[in-house]
Structure 1
Amino acid sequence: MVRRDRVNSVRRPSQGDVARLAGVSAQTVSRVANEHPNVDPATRERVRAAMSELGYRPNTAARALVTGRFGMIGVVSFDIGDLGNARTFGAITAAAGEAGFSVNFMGVRARTEQAVSEAVDRLAVQSVDGIVLIESRILDTPALTLPSALPVVVADGDRAHGYPGVDIDQADGARQAVNHLLSLGHDTVWHLSGPCDSHAAHRREHAWRDTLRAAGAPVPEPVRGDWSPASGYERGKALAADPEVRAVFAANDQMALGLLRALHEAGRSVPGEVSVVGFDDIPEAAYLPVPLTTVRQDFAEIGRHCVELLVERMANPGGPARHLEVPAKLVTRSSTGRPAVKGH
């Protein structure tokens, strides 16, 4: 048996070292390293335990020659500090791990097609099998043409380009929020919208406006924030000061949090005087002093679909570019209720 302390510390452990420790052939070690399905589960675990004990790491270049894959997915995204981007990235990472892939992240600062293309090029030379672009922000050009021959899937992006894509059904989520407030008896619904450079903000705002028009309800001028609680608070002061405002759909939960503070400071009760609906269903939403009614996004499902489409694209590069929408779900809590009778 070859133990870790008996392997020459100058060289890396080899497949032969793993084979001797596990009591199997080098071919079996190769099959385990390359994720070959025809290996007995108990043998597979024994080989993996030997790899761990020896600190053995498969040669990715050699594995790629055998499998045609490096086992690595690249992810390109704008501001990873943005809650939606961060949760999407986390979901993709989890789904990639379940599918046997590692993840290499590349951040993009400039909101330009050139910056995205350069990030994709940098990943292309780092042994990735495909790329997921989280295109949450609107680029400087309406079309997106990436120079890489690698498979690409776009999350939270524009459908106008020819890449496969995955997104929450933003429009239906907004419709559910507005229809919920209208069904409670509110005459109309004000909107605390997201920033102008966001795909999600545009879709939610358009659906809010279209839903009000379809119901024959007045369409107030939207109040624009930037996704942050601070912007929800600052913009929310104007909403809180207007006695006509009885129902508000905030484009995300963080802005809804700021709005709730503004309403509290103005002495306006929720939902007694003003009903509030958010979007995202962040973990804190259910534990606020007034639990927030919101639209839930299933980020885990987004991650699974991104990896699914990417693997599909790897196997069939010339196939049709599929677009998948993950359903949104309204979660009703205590921040919404029937409007109070005016004058009471």
Structure 2
Amino acid sequence: MPAPASRSVPKYSRVYSALRRDIESGRWREETKLPSEVDLVRQFGVSRITVTRAVRELQAAGLVQRVAGSGTFVKRSRTTLGQSFGLLIPDLGETEIFEPICQGMMASPLARAHALVWGSAATEAASNEARALSLCRQYIERGVSGVFFAPVELTPSKDEVNRGILRALDGARIPVVLLDRPVVPYPQNSQHDLVGIDNRRAGYVITEHLLNLGCRRIVFVGLPHAAATVNAREAGYREALYAHKVSFGRASLQRLDPEDVTAVRKLLESMRPDGIVCANDRTAGRLLHSIRQLRHRVPQDIRLVGIDDVEYARLLPVPLSTLRQPTHQIGELALALMLERIARPTLPPREVRLGCELIVRESCGAAMARGR
């Protein structure tokens, strides 16, 4: 596994980044005297040499000035205006919801005075874990004002990597807003702000849609090692079946590669589903191709639905019924939460969960049901 992000970041750089953020956030205003180096040594738990170098870096950046016999003072006022925020989204371009979320951030009126930093990730051949750790180190070294983090998923060691990244950012005193997914599993409480959809409700709503169309042998399909959002959607699926008094067993909950035709054939032969709820549109699109390859028809034989409403959902061979994430609103709210977190760092962690819109297309067979 790649080395933790915090190990390769010099201690003076972490102290420098934390002090710079305090200045830029307005905590220390123009001509305010900084704590003495002795106090900073005690605050950060580092050596006097480390603190001295960090303060020298602040001076070189034009943020502070030393006055002989008096101490170190903020050279000019820095408010929350003109701050830079790092985007730590290792699967940007692979998970389709994140690009419109970022567009929502940039389109927000609050974004006019700020900059989003995309970073320079590791090589294209590197894993998502390696890219995430690389971006984390870069943002700490650059002293960004905050980081928007979409935790790594789909790897066996994702939890360890995500916790290491958050420890490094917390150690550098960089505020974090999580996008789409938490790091800790339910029912643990996150220690960081989070913006996303109500995944449990999404799983319930999309499953109930199939139930209302007459499906009774409904299977849930997700990828192995997926994010906690998939667990929440699965919970909503189970609740919908229970509420409608439809029985289900462990075999109804499938974690498989939707492009593995052998695994898909085994699922269809053993469960004989009349409906499939996919954890997301990406899974649904791939599963659709496997189902058609096995000579089953969607929706005539199997009704299929997803969650997200990514751009290509309506362009699939059978247009996909799904739930539309309010991605632009998620981006706007994420930026608002970040700015408030910087202005009021002692606020308790907050989770903002938005609802989704049901988008009915051909794959669920709603038109067939209406025609009966």
- Tell me the TM-score normalized by structure 2: 0.64
Counterpart of 2:177 in structure 1 is 153
How does 1:42-121 map onto structure 2 within 5 Å?
65-69=76-80, 70-84=82-96, 86-87=98-99, 90-91=102-103, 94-95=106-107, 98-106=111-119, 107=121, 109=127, 120=136
Answer yes or no: is 1:129 the counterpart of 2:158.
no
**What is the root-mean-square deviation in Å for CA atoms of aligned residues?**
3.4
Q: 1:136 to 1:211 in 2, by over 3 A?
A: farther
Q: After superposition, give the CA deviation of every residue in 1:174-216 in whole Å (9 maximum; x if it has no partner).
A: 1111000111111131111133241222211222223223322
Which one-letter code corresponds to 1:295 in the other structure? L
Q: 1:240 to 1:61 in 2, by over 3 A?
A: farther
Q: What stretches of structure 2 of length at least 5 have no aligned partner?
A: 1-60, 65-74
Answer yes or no: is 1:313 the counterpart of 2:341.
yes
Higher RCO (CA 8 Å, separation ≥ 6 residues): 2
Q: 1:171 to 1:320 in 2, by over 3 A?
A: same
Q: 1:61 to 1:225 in 2, by over 3 A?
A: farther
Query: Given that residues 250 and 277 in structure 1 are in contact (C-alpha distance below 8 angstroms), is that contact kept between their aligned partners in structure 2?
Result: yes
Deviation for aligned residue 1:68: 3.4
- Tell me the TM-score normalized by structure 1: 0.69
Answer yes or no: is 1:337 the counterpart of 2:365.
yes
In structure 2, what is the Cα distance between the partners aligned to 1:142 and 1:286? 33
Instruction: Give the number of the structure whose alpha-carbon radius of gyration is greater.
Output: 1
Q: 1:209 to 1:195 in 2, by over 3 A?
A: same
**Segment drifting more, 126-135 vs 307-316:** 126-135
Counterpart of 1:204 in structure 2 is 233
1:261 corresponds to which of 280, 285, 289: 289
2:303 corresponds to which of 271, 275, 290: 275
Which one-letter code corresponds to 2:118 in the other structure? F
Identity fraction in percent: 22
Counterpart of 1:168 in structure 2 is 197
**Segment drifting more, 216-225 vs 178-187:** 216-225
Q: After superposition, give the CA deviation of every residue in 1:95-127 in whole Å (9 maximum; x if it has no partner).
A: 578343222235585759xx9788545413314
Which one-letter code corresponds to 1:87 in the other structure? E
Deviation for aligned residue 1:318: 1.3
In structure 1, what is the Cα distance between the partners aligned to 2:308 and 2:200? 13
Counterpart of 1:12 in structure 2 is none
Q: What stretches of structure 1 of length at least 5 have no aligned partner?
A: 1-59
In structure 1, what is the Cα distance between the partners aligned to 2:246 and 2:90? 36
Query: Given that residues 101 and 328 in structure 2 are in contact (C-alpha distance below 8 angstroms), is that contact kept between their aligned partners in structure 1?
Result: no
**Segment drifting more, 212-221 vs 303-312:** 212-221
Counterpart of 2:255 in structure 1 is 224
Query: Given that residues 273 and 339 in structure 1 are in contact (C-alpha distance below 8 angstroms), is that contact kept between their aligned partners in structure 2?
Result: no
